[in-house]
Amino acid sequence: MSLPQRKIIHVDMDAFYASVEQMDFPELKGKPLAVGGSNTRGVVSAASYEARKFGVRSAMSGIQAKKNCPELIFVSPRFDRYKEISKKIRRIFFDYTDLVEPLSLDEAYLDVTVNKKNNPSASMLAQEIRQRIFDEVGLTASAGISINKFVAKIASDFNKPNGQKTVTPEEVEPFLDLLDIKKFYGIGKVTTKKFYQLGIFTGFDLKQKSLEYLEKHFKNSAQYYFNISRGIHNSSVKTNKVVKSFGAEHTFNENLSSEIYMEERLLQIAIELEKRMQKSKVSGKTITLKIKYSDFSIQTRSKTLHYYISDKHLLFDVAKELLYQERLKNSVRLLGISVNNLNNEKPKTKEIPKSVSVQLQFNFKE
């Protein structure tokens, strides 16, 4: 007996952070708004649709955003408020299914193949969920509906804001055939450029390539690309998603050029990272130092230990060793520390006692 065709909804809030600010402060409605910093080191976290018309986007520097839109209004993020609203939205999701996989505060996958409303129409359920979010929370959401998470995610972008798109089983391949490869979820700018150089511009172009051809050019990712061009994506909606990494980073008010001046910042980052990890009761083996230079290029340096750590002093010791592993290429605008290879994924190993002084030696290879 074959399993029923899955019915997956991807719900994505419209300009979530900016929309919350416009809801809470009506004087901001209809105006170009950016959540983030406008100073020389500021970065846009989110932009309202009024601001997006001027080319303002998330991750853009505040200075550039202001150049694009001189009338742009900046507000500081209020993450506690965004989390509060997100919890209300998720409670609505759970009225329809227990199979909910949050991706972030503002989006989630819902498996409604079997649902609490006994409604066979995923499209009607998506419409009802979006209406309830608007009525009960005051914000608009968009949705994509299809047979798997990959297609549903892409579809949710098609009729934004405040819209939805359903891609039925028989429409999946024709839908993907016409799609520009850069719109495939999970394919970034670098990979898109490589596809273009190979003459692969659409889903149809990708589907014409054999698995052997893709293995030659994309190695371990070949099977994934081969499958998604045919609408094959079997990943289930994960209700208890395991966190695979923790991190913290800081952008400096002024670029730093000496490692000595960076040590104090690294310790502050390690203290913040320890708080986050201990709150979740996890430790990790692989520590990565992220360095963003003044020219915005990024370098990472990593080391995997034989034991799990989460203590701020040990995190700092590892990060400091990595910092001095080789000369810096330029002045530095950002430092970050992240930890993965966590003990929530593997059998726990005894953690190094905090009172023990550990000397760590590294042979770093980029």
Q: What is the pLDDT of residues 317-348, one digit of tens each?
A: 999 999 999 999 899 999 999 999 999 864 54
Structure-token pair, residue 152: 């549903």
First vs last Cα of the chain: how many Å apart?
51
Assigned fold of 16-79? MutS, DNA mismatch repair protein, domain I (3.40.1170)
Per the DSSP assignment, residues forming a β-bridge with 336 are: 249, 290
Distance in angstroms (rounded) separating the CA atoms of residues 273 and 196: 39
Q: Per mean pLDDT, which range of 16-25, 55-64, 115-124 is the poorest? A: 55-64
Model confidence band, residue 97 (pLDDT cutoffs 50, 70, 90): very high
Lowest-pLDDT range of 216-230, 237-251, 263-277, 281-295: 237-251
Its CATH class, for the domain covering 172-228, is: mainly alpha
**Distance in angstroms (rounded) separating the CA atoms of residues 361 and 127:** 57
Q: Which two tokens stand for residue 278?
A: 């201990």
- Fold classified for 245-342: Dna Ligase; domain 1 (3.30.1490)
- Assess whether pLDDT exceeds 70 at residue 2: no
- Assign 73 to helix, strand or coil: strand
**Residues acting as catalytic residues:** 107
Structural domain boundaries of the chain? 16-79, 172-228, 245-342
What does the pLDDT look like over 22-60, one tens digit per residue? 999 999 999 999 998 776 667 898 999 999 999 999 888
pLDDT on residue 37: 78
Task: Phi first, then psi: give them for residue 315, nearest 5 degrees.
Answer: -60, -45
Q: Quickly count: other Cβ atoms within 10 Å of residue 224's Cβ.
A: 16
According to the model, what pLDDT value does residue 173 have?
A: 96
